[in-house]
Amino acid sequence: MPERDDTISAEERLIARYFRPLATHPGAFGLADDAAVVTPPAGCDLVLTTDGVIAGVHFFADDPPGAVGRKVLRMNLSDLAAKGAKPVGFLMSVALPAGIGEAWIAGLAAGLGEDSAHYGCPLLGGDTDHTPGPIAISITAFGTVPHGGMVRRATAKSGDCVLVTGTIGDAALGVLLRRDQALAKKWRLADAASAHLKQRYLLPEPRNALADAVLAHATAAMDVSDGLAGDLAKLCRASAVAAEIDVASVPLSDAARAAIAAEPVLMETALTGGDDYEIVLTLSPQKLAGFRNAARQAGVAVTEIGRVTTGQGARFLSGGKTMNFAKPSYSHF
């Protein structure tokens, strides 16, 4: 057995054991340098985004470490998808408190490795630290789009259709269930429905399969991370337009629909709670059919929920009346 090299720190050994296998991009140099090198394809722009999670804020302390790793990477992949960008790689900073064993780190790396391979988004580098506080993981992801082609949130036009991918509100309801399992009985949810809502909180589904279609058809887009109502309002402010949304058209899973039927006030939670990681986008009516066809081919459900209008703000209409939200968007502050 070779002798242990005591000149190599515990941090270096941890990185080599758990994170170097994720650094498959040649520009990562096997994590053996201070920086990485990425050359975008000719005629492309780099798209950069960053997001992170903190234990007790974005995930529960007993969430599986593999799911935590996958979720934080998927949060960033969702941003890239909404910009029409193809993933290139990511940087990661991890701050770990005392007492976190290698089993947790191994689980984190395994989850990251699974999704890194699936989405074609290798680790390029990062940093590991000790913290007296809770676990914190921050990722910066890189993607590419044709030069000048990134889909922004500031380019919606009056008359555009408003669409959203997937279903809305599952994760926000799943968080409530994680905090109080007794709610499943109150909402008269079957075990499968309760599990669906909690799983949607635990592991979002970024819509990267739709990135090409977003790039080709959308006038504006952003990912839905802080709630549909709040994020659409941000898009409207950036574009200096308004939007009218038919609440009855907002896509809900069977599980969310059952919970809302039992407690109708939960519709506001579904629209404002966040953690959906779907895409809200606008496009001209002339491009609607083409986008729907592309979405079918990509295997992503899309739903038209309203129209862009002149004016300011996003109005959510239920039974012909505008809904007023006590807290229209998730916010850390």
Helix ranges (H only) for the chain are: 10-14, 65-82, 102-119, 170-179, 183-186, 191-202, 211-217, 228-239, 254-262, 266-272, 288-298
What is the pLDDT, as a whole number, of residue 5? 60
* Three-class secondary structure of residue 130 per DSSP: strand
CA distance 117 to 212: 19
Residue type, 115: D
pTM above 0.85, yes or no: yes
The arrangement of strands across the sheet holding 136-146 comes to: 44-54, 136-146, 86-96, 123-130
pLDDT above 70 (res 3)? no
The answer, yes or no, to whether residue 4 has pLDDT greater than 60, is no
pLDDT of residue 8: 80
Question: Given this model, what pLDDT does residue 149 score?
Answer: 97
Residue 293 has pLDDT above 50, yes or no: yes
Confidence at 10, pLDDT banded by 50, 70, 90 = confident
Instruction: Report the percentage of the chain scoring pLDDT > 70.
Output: 98
**How confident is the prediction for the chain on average, in pLDDT?**
95
Q: Which residue matches tokens 């890194």?
A: 116
Residues 92-129 pLDDT 10s: 999 999 989 999 999 999 999 999 999 999 999 999 99
pLDDT of residue 2 exceeding 50, the answer is no
pLDDT at 7: 73
- Is 60 exceeded by the pLDDT of residue 136? yes
User: Could you report the per-residue pLDDT of 308-322, keeping only the tens digit for each?
Assistant: 999 999 999 999 999
- Looking up tokens 């999704």 gives 115
295: left (phi over 0), alpha (psi -120 to 50) or beta: alpha
Q: Which helix (H) or strand (E) holds 87?
A: strand 86-96
Looking at residue 6, its pLDDT comes to 64
Residue 39 has pLDDT above 70, yes or no: yes
Between the two ends of the chain, the Cα-to-Cα distance in Å is 54
Between these two residues, 1 and 100, which has the higher pLDDT value?
A: 100
Task: Give the total residue count for the chain.
Answer: 333
For residue range 198-254, list pLDDT tens digits in order.
999 999 999 999 999 999 999 999 999 999 999 999 999 999 999 999 999 999 999
The stretch 23-41 carries a mean pLDDT of: 95
Q: CB-based contacts of 31: which residues, under 8 Å, 6+ apart?
A: 15, 16, 19, 20, 23, 123, 125
| Cα dihedral across residues 16, 17, 20, 24: positive or negative | positive
Under the banding of pLDDT at 50, 70 and 90, the label for residue 328 is confident
